[in-house]
Structures are given as C-alpha cells and as structure tokens.
Amino acid sequence: MLRLTLLLLAITATRARMNVLFLVSDDMRPELTIFEGKDFPSPVHPPIHSPNLDALARKSLLLKRAHVQQAVCAPSRSSLLTGRRPDTTHVYDLQAYWRDVGGNFTTIPQYFKEHGYRTIGSGKIFHPGTASGYNDPISWTDPYFHVGKEADNFVYKEKVTWLSVPMDLLKNNSLADTQNADYAVNMIRQAAPQARSGERPFFIAQGFFKPHLPFVAPQMFFDMYPESSISLPPNLYAPDKMPVIAWSNYSELRSGYVDLEKFHISGDINTTLPNDVILNLRRGYYSALSYTDYELGRLIQEVENQGLANNTIISFWGDHGWQLGEHGEWCKHTNFELATHAPMMVHVPGLTDKGIVTEELTEFVDLFPTLVEAAGLPPINLCPENSTNVLVCTEGTSLIPLITNPASPNWKKAVFSQYPRNEYNGDQMGYSITTDHYRYTEWVKFNLQPEYKPDWTQVFGVELYDHYGDPQENKNLAYDSAYSAVVAQLSKQLHAGWRAALPK
Ligand SMILES: [Ca+2]
C-alpha cells in the first residue's frame, strides 16, 4: 500500500512538471506598447502592432528594465544561456565557443534535458556557427532544426536593407522565420501527448531572425505602418562630451546591407543618414518586429490548442536593444541604454496569470535560475569566483521573488553590461553600471587571456548619464565637476562588480 501511495505521488509529481516554450527574437528592442513609460528613452514612434507579445505580457512577469550583459548576439546569448557573464564565458565576439574558451558550462536547454525533458530547438537560439559549436548539439534531445536566412533569397536578388514582400510571392514559398515557426508548431503537436500524460515534458525553443537586418517582412506588416506615421528620432546627434571610444561606426549597417557610398556616409560621429533613409529603416524595423510577433503568436496558440496552456511556462527575450538613428547611431555594439536594454517576460501558469510588472533592474543572466525554479528543478547555486570547472552554477538571481513582490526592497540595486573595442584583439573594454538614477561607464585597458581582467588605471573615457533628467542620454556629465562625488561613488561600485550589488 505504501509503495502504491509513493508511486501515485511520483506520478502526480511527474504530471505537475511544467513544459517550457522558450521564445527568442534577434535585435528586438523593447519598443512595444507594454514597455511604454519613462523607461523607454525614445517614445517617438507609431503605434506598434504586437498583439501576441502584448497578450503574453499581460499574463507574465514583465521585466521592464532588463539589461543584457553585452549588446551583440553571441556574447549576449552565450551569457544568458549559460547563466554567466562575458568575463566568465570569455565570449566577446561572434566566433568563440564558451566550451572552448570559458569552460564546459551547462546551458538552459541542456539542464532541462538532464532532468528528463525532451528538448527541441529551431531557428536562432545560440549564435550559429563556431560560436555555438553549430547550435550546441549537447543541449538537445532532437536534432536541431535550422532554416537559415539564405532561405529568404527568393524574395530579393541583391542585398537589401528593407523590403516589403508582396503577398503573392508567399503563396508557394515561405520566409525563413515562417519555416522555422512551422517546424516548431509541428514539434509542439508531436511532443504534446507525452507532455499531457506526464510521461515526458518538453522544452521547445524557437529563435526568430527578425527584426534583425535586413528588414524583410510580408507586405501586410508594412501596411500596418503608413509612411506618414513614421518619425525621425528626437535626438540625431551624439551625446554632448561623449568620449570617442563610446562610439560604434555601425559598420554592420554600412557594409552589409545598403549601398551608402552615394550618401558619403562614414559612420563618423555626428554624420547622419539622409532623412528618407532613416524613415525607411525605422518603418522596416517596425514591420519586421510585427512579423516576428505574428509568427511567435502561432506557437503560443498551438500550446493552447494542445490543451497545455495551464502547464507550460513561456519565456520571451530579445538578445539586445537596437539604435534606430538616435544619437545618429545604428545597430548595437555600444553601452548606451538603447543597446543594453532589451525585452524580457516570463509567464508561469498559476503564478503570473494576472500580469505582474516590475520596474526593478534585472539582467539576462537572471533567466536561467528563474526557469529552473519555475519548473521545480533542483535549484542552481551562485557561481564561485572561479567557476571554470563548475558545470552548473549561475551569476544571476532568480526572478521568482519579484512575482510576489515586484517592488522588492531586497533586490539588486545595480546591473552590469560591457562592450569591447578593437574586439578582435580585446585591447579595451567599456564597463557599464546602471542604477535607478544613473548609467556610468569606464572605458579601460582590458587584458585578454589568461587574465580576462580590466586594468582600471588605464582609462580611455568615462560617461555618466542622469536618467532622471536625461533619459535619452544626451549629456555626458562625467567631466562636470558638480558630479565628481557621484562619479567617485559609481566608479567604486563599478570596480566592486556585480557580486557586491547582490541583495544582502
Ligand atoms: Ca542580435
């Protein structure tokens, strides 16, 4: 009898295990209605059409002030997916694989796999290619599915920066994100029976390429944004007294996607693109964002169709922000708020159904311990100072306490991002700390292997932005003597690092 009771208990426990739908977008800044308010520094935009993300946010813990650890694909994704910061993964570029250069760190899907989940991935979760050992096969129970961006070539013959795809062209062909979403929808159907019976829960991850350049989307999404609805950014010039090293010359946009030579655009500070190009880029970006929202909605709907809505955690994040002409700056590759602030939300059935908004500062490394706690898997310990040989640990903090107390007095009071310059030989690093009031950055000498440490005594530039009075970061106050005490205090906090900022 006792054995039967234990067995029943075990079955019940198995049935209670939640699935995970893990949704990722590429280069999507948090310019959604649900993020509006004082947090988004560029409110000049048309109404954004993102009904599916809006609906997900209304039943999620919405992290309104989540910051990435480094504002470019592979470093940000490697950091989030291993729960460790770039100075631990040692991934600062688009080539290095953390298992080669940092340590054999367990990833989020791998951890769920090791606890009996069926783990299925498609599209862009890890940065593809060498940066993930080709989609990190050890993370998945099923072969990774990946239709690449080249699948979109049927809609354009030469490189484009933005393109509205006529609907007729899509009758017999699909864009890459649609194809990857089709696969994920099908896998939800396939995995559902075992998930429903409690035999085997799933962790299904789907990464979208959009709204990353080129801004290619079906015409119906461009139609949502009439040209007359698009505005120029409110601040077309670099911050006053910005050190040169803070600037990125947006070579990604200039070299890869549009012939800017005729405009004589150098990417230099305070040289802007022609207004019509800026407006087209902004319109294309919003259209690609809405296309992503549409595809992502199909996956959420399928979870509901399969009767699994009450038993499936859904997380969503974009891998970093994007500069859409503000400061005359484009793409990511900086430590500005627009580059490090990114969207994140987590739906946990039974816990977040009414929608919880937190304005506390959070970080992308926080997601790993959050999903683990939400799913009831064995919790993950804080990493020791040197975690090279520790397979599973976290440099983040579970966000679950913010569900019951979204304005927690016992939460971290600062978050950290970084960005290298001369990133392929790692000469300098910009370390940035964001508090409720300020963003403060020091650009310093950085020693690559074996140290992977900054030399705080060799400084190439300092920035201080007052987010209360200047949320768009238009005035660098670091060299203003009136702020010398603030600079001294934040410098001390920056050097003390993320561990010192953890709640006591
Ligand atoms: Ca990206």
Q: What was the pLDDT predicted at 438?
A: 98
Confidence of residue 257 (pLDDT cuts 50, 70, 90): low
Q: What was the pLDDT predicted at 261?
A: 63
Quick one: DSSP state of residue 433?
Answer: E
Cα 70 to ligand 1 centroid, rounded to whole Å:
10
Cα 118 to ligand 1 centroid, rounded to whole Å:
26
What average pLDDT is seen over the chain? Answer: 93
Q: With contact defined as beta carbons under 8 Å apart, do 44 and 93 qualify? A: no
Cα 52 to ligand 1 centroid, rounded to whole Å:
21
Which of the pair, 47 or 487, is modelled with greater confidence? 487
Q: Tokens 């991002």, residue? A: 417
Kindly tell me if the per-residue pLDDT of 1 is higher than 50: no
pLDDT tens digits for range 281-331: 999 999 999 999 999 999 999 999 999 999 999 999 999 999 999 999 999
Report the relative pairing of strands 312-318 and 19-26 from DSSP bridges. parallel
Q: What was the pLDDT predicted at 156?
A: 87
Q: With contact defined as beta carbons under 8 Å apart, do 312 and 21 qualify? A: yes
Kindly tell me if the per-residue pLDDT of 240 is higher than 80: yes
Q: Tokens 């990125």, residue? A: 248
Per cent of the chain over pLDDT 90 is 85
Confidence of residue 12 (pLDDT cuts 50, 70, 90): very low
CATH class held by domain 2-34+51-232+242-414: alpha beta
H/E element holding 180?
helix 176-197
Q: What was the pLDDT predicted at 42?
A: 52
What is the distance between the alpha carbons of residues 292 and 467, in angstroms, rounded to a whole number? Answer: 30
Known catalytic residues are: 73, 127
Confidence of residue 259 (pLDDT cuts 50, 70, 90): low
Q: What was the pLDDT predicted at 301?
A: 98
Confidence of residue 408 (pLDDT cuts 50, 70, 90): confident
Average pLDDT estimate for 360-373 = 98
Q: What was the pLDDT predicted at 401?
A: 97
Quick one: how many helices (H) and strands (E) in the chain? Answer: 14, 15
Confidence of residue 8 (pLDDT cuts 50, 70, 90): very low
| Furthest C-alpha separation in the chain | 82
pLDDT tens digits for range 73-88: 999 999 999 999 999 9
Q: What was the pLDDT predicted at 272?
A: 84
Q: Tokens 């670099």, residue? A: 238
Cα 268 to ligand 1 centroid, rounded to whole Å:
22
Q: What was the pLDDT predicted at 450?
A: 83
Confidence of residue 40 (pLDDT cuts 50, 70, 90): low
Cα 26 to ligand 1 centroid, rounded to whole Å:
4
* 416, β-bridge pairs: 433
Cα 332 to ligand 1 centroid, rounded to whole Å:
8
State both tokens at 201: 């829960």
Q: Which residues surround ligand 1, an ion (CB under 5 A)?
A: 26-27, 73, 319
Kindly tell me if the per-residue pLDDT of 416 is higher than 50: yes
List phi, psi (to 5°) of 448.
Answer: -70, -160
Cα 2 to ligand 1 centroid, rounded to whole Å:
53
From 112, 141, 68, select the one nearest 396 (Cα to Cα).
68
Cα 23 to ligand 1 centroid, rounded to whole Å:
14
Kindly tell me if the per-residue pLDDT of 264 is higher than 80: no
What is the distance between the alpha carbons of residues 200 and 474, in angstroms, rounded to a whole number? Answer: 52
Cα 88 to ligand 1 centroid, rounded to whole Å:
20
DSSP assignments along 11-47, one per residue:
HHHHHHPPEEEEEEEES--S-SGGG-STT-S----PP
pLDDT tens digits for range 458-504: 999 999 999 999 999 999 999 999 999 999 999 999 999 999 999 87
Average pLDDT estimate for 370-397 = 98
Cα 348 to ligand 1 centroid, rounded to whole Å:
26
From 228, 320, 238, 343, select the one nearest 282 (Cα to Cα).
228
**Chain center to CA of 282:** 20
Identify residue 361 by its one-letter amino acid code: L
Average pLDDT estimate for 41-51 = 78
Q: What was the pLDDT predicted at 165?
A: 97
